[in-house]
A and B are shown apart, each in its own frame.
Chain A
Amino acid sequence: MSLLSINDLQVSFKTRRGTVNAVRGLSLEIEKGETLGIVGESGSGKSVTSYALMRLLESNGRISGGALSYGGIDLRHAKESVMRDLRGREISMIFQNPRAALNPIRKVGHQIEDVLRRHAKATRSTARAEAIKALEAVKIRDPEARYNAYPFELSGGMCQRIVIALALACDPKLLIADEPTTGLDITTQKAVMDLIADLIAERGMSAMVITHDLGLAAQYCNRIVVMKDGEIVEQGDPKRLFTAPEHPYTRKLVDATPRSGASVRSLLPAEQRTPAPELPVSETPLLEVRDLTKTYQGKSGPVHAVKGISFKVMKGQSVGLVGESGCGKSTTSSILVRLTDPTSGEILFNGEDLAKTPAGTFARDPRRAAIQMVFQDATDSFNPRHTARHSIAEPLKRLTGLKGKALKDRVEELADLVGLPRPLLDRFPHQLSGGQKARVGIARAIAVEPQFLILDEPTAALDVSIQAIVLNLLVDLRAKLGISFLFVSHDLHVVRLLCDHVIVMRDGEILEEGPAAAVMDAPAHAYTRELLAAAPEPPALAETLSSAAE
């Protein structure tokens, strides 16, 4: 008998617009010792399924049909007291955002003790030792000292390890990991996933890994279920799903997953692939950064965020700036877009030094329109009180003085250019999807026809199929408008698709730079190799690619 079986599960939510069926007749089973991957894009019902399983649905949601059975226990009808005993001890969960999942004002050691004592796995006298053991199990160095740490003192990856320690403290038989590595750096992602995989194998647990990343699921799961709109569209062996997807949706997901050897057009479904545009790169530099430094005054002495970097961006060129969090890439882009003043150094833009104009007054500088930016977090970068139309019109009103009908026409022209349906222009940000917000963000940035556009991880929060469309849109816009890009990202595969030239940064320094193909195929620096190795690469796919090449 399988450990967990879900039969025809239906979950519905009551909302202002009526009832929404989030999960519609889902059936699946997890065997003992099996790792099942549930892959789907946002809104596919994959997280809701796991919450329904734990009976942790929001108050407006309910299980409206089907059966949930865990080792013979009917989870749908079990009493709340039974569920409380099951949660944590039998079925455990790793949450999406480790920082939010930890109590910010309690020491992490105490939080682990709480779980242990709740399920009578430890007594007051043994709790501390057990908690330290749990920290050791997730390979935290110096667990005795970390026991006394507060979540804010730990890095994102470290917090996720604590969450894993919490989830595994009581030796559950089923582990649910809901997007366990979203928001973590790529090398941290690999470390965390490897750790989870090791612990699952070591303890003979079953696991359910929920992710939007097909490549990641393929690498770590025995079996994959692909979900769309609350239903399973396809399931099976990861290798088979990649090599011979049966359902068109799976095909689309496989295509859209960035991987080595792909071109930006090949991410799109076959019928939408148009010939890639020519992207001429001029020999004249548009932007030249010379010995740029930025030092912050921290509480424990100066923090050197950027330590004297120099590089050039040619007219029409797309440069990728790659690095993990804390490498100084965000500081660099903030300085280049003139929101932050550098400590020293020159930013030559068409030969003029921009660093001479302080960031505070640059907003009224005539060169303001020439340098624009697409922000990372599409939700945070829009004023919640402004409609999409208002947001796109803002730079036009302030920087070009367009008014009335001319302004309205220009906004609609931009919406057409980025493929945003015109009726959506009158919506507020919270009424738009992630992909639509990305389009509005791009429309806003190109509205004043900049020569230089900084893209700060513009697709980091998007589903892969939307990411594929947005990346192609960017390539088309670059060809049409002749803009130079500085593409800031941690995802080397995406950078390779979009950039001619790559700069790898770590700790505020440039480690390596060169043409994209050269850096990716023959990385000179060990760190670049490490980054490349950490990117999930479905083994099955790698094989087919190499055999296809032969």
Chain B
Amino acid sequence: MSDTATRAEALKQQDGALAHIAYVLRSNPVTLLAFAMFAVLLLAAVLGPLIAPFDPLQTNASNALQPPSFTHWFGTDNLGRDVFSRVIVATRLDLAISIAAVALSFLVGSVLGSLAGYWGGWLDAVLNRVFDTIMAFPLFVLAMGIVAALGNTVENIVYATAVINIPFYARLVRAEVNIRRDAGFAQAAKLAGNSDVRVLALHIFPNALPPMMVQVSLNLGWAILNAAGLSFIGLGVRPPTAEWGIMVAEGANFIVSGEWWLAIFPGLALMFAVFTFNLLGDGLRDIVDPRQRS
């Protein structure tokens, strides 16, 4: 009996959250568009090989460098591979790299930033100088250096992208935690028997989430560009793997001879992804911010 009551209540709560998301999407058409675009990206990433009309690695020399046609929507490349299939299949790898990199920098940045913001003192001073040092490098060059030094693998692209992003998260979290360190609700949490770590992790940190979401979504776009950029110059992902950066790099050689479709389509896919993430930020923030509920 009481069980059903609690379940009904849980449902109502969930309903509240869903209704809130629905409200955020309805009230802002741009957010709705961004979420629709994100859904397209996710579908392509999850279903990639299933929905691609051709095998992305299947070469066919007799069919090389064909312009876009009904069979090959985006044309074929110099080895006769279907560009449309390659663009779709590449989504998974590109999204995986950027999400993994952002997740890693979010996690590490949050922990370090929270510690610095809550306890301050020498820890804060040391961490801040470390972040300053990272930020003082041209970030792309730093990422290149890290990949070159650690080895030319996809994992290392993720680590490199994560490292250069950590300072941005840490700085943001530090500021958000710092202004709430002595807030009434933090003191109340201590009176309720929470240790410092619990107060920080369960009470103060979640309040930093709304601005973090904006940073995350901007960063996802940026991380995709970064990964593609590294592949473009030949670091990280190696041919024949389908990846937008490499495809642009390979296709660039053919633009002069008039085969524009090799580089344009993966470039457009890249642009689409970055644009989606940039649009997503405000909507994500509104969804994680309970104060937006009425």
- Does A47 touch B at the CB level, under 8 Å? no
CA A315 – CA B187 in complex, angstroms?
25
Q: Check A363–B294 contact: CB distance below 8 A.
A: no
With A16-B294, A428-B293, A431-B293 known to touch, is A381 a contact of B187 (CB < 8 Å)?
Answer: yes
With A385-B290, A428-B293 known to touch, is A395 a contact of B193 (CB < 8 Å)?
Answer: yes
Q: Check B193–A369 contact: CB distance below 8 A.
A: yes
- Does A463 touch B at the CB level, under 8 Å? no
Q: Which residues of the partner chain B approach A339 to less than 8 Å between Cβ atoms?
A: 187, 190-191
Q: Which residues of the partner chain A approach B190 to less than 8 Å between Cβ atoms?
A: 339, 363
Q: Which residues of the partner chain A approach B207 to less than 8 Å between Cβ atoms?
A: 383-385
- Does A337 touch B at the CB level, under 8 Å? yes
- Does B257 touch A at the CB level, under 8 Å? no
B267 to chain A, nearest CB (A): 40
Q: Check A380–B189 contact: CB distance below 8 A.
A: no
| Among B185, B191, B196, contact of A383 (Cβ-Cβ < 8 Å) | B185
Contact code string A420-464 (vs B, CB < 8 Å = 1, else 0): 000000101011000000000000110000000000000000000
Q: Check B187–A383 contact: CB distance below 8 A.
A: no
| Among B184, B196, B203, contact of A380 (Cβ-Cβ < 8 Å) | B184
CA A376 – CA B195 in complex, angstroms?
22
Most chain B CB inside 10 Å of its own CB: which residue of A391, A394, A445: A394
CA A12 – CA B59 in complex, angstroms?
68
Q: Check B188–A381 contact: CB distance below 8 A.
A: yes
A158 to chain B, nearest CB (A): 25
- Does A372 touch B at the CB level, under 8 Å? yes
With A364-B195, A369-B193, A398-B193 known to touch, is A380 a contact of B185 (CB < 8 Å)?
Answer: yes
| Among B6, B184, B196, contact of A375 (Cβ-Cβ < 8 Å) | B184
CA A369 – CA B194 in complex, angstroms?
12
CA A360 – CA B199 in complex, angstroms?
12
| Closest residue of B by beta carbon distance from A15 | B294
- Does A373 touch B at the CB level, under 8 Å? yes
CA A377 – CA B203 in complex, angstroms?
17
- Does A24 touch B at the CB level, under 8 Å? no
| Closest residue of B by beta carbon distance from A427 | B293
With A381-B185, A395-B193 known to touch, is A405 a contact of B290 (CB < 8 Å)?
Answer: no
CA A375 – CA B185 in complex, angstroms?
9
Q: Which residues of the partner chain B approach A372 to less than 8 Å between Cβ atoms?
A: 191
Q: List residues of B (229-253) whose CB comes within 8 Å of A's CBs.
A: none
Residues of B within 8 A of A (CB): 2, 6, 13, 183-185, 187-196, 203, 206-207, 290-291, 293-294
Residues of A within 8 A of B (CB): 15-17, 337, 339, 360, 363-364, 368-369, 372-373, 375-377, 380-385, 391, 394-395, 398-399, 405, 408, 426, 428, 430-431, 444-445
Q: List 30 A-B contacts (CB under 8 A).
A: A16-B294, A17-B294, A339-B191, A360-B196, A363-B194, A364-B193, A368-B193, A372-B191, A373-B187, A373-B191, A375-B184, A375-B188, A381-B183, A381-B185, A381-B187, A383-B203, A384-B185, A384-B207, A384-B290, A385-B207, A385-B290, A398-B194, A399-B192, A408-B6, A428-B291, A428-B293, A431-B293, A431-B294, A444-B188, A444-B192
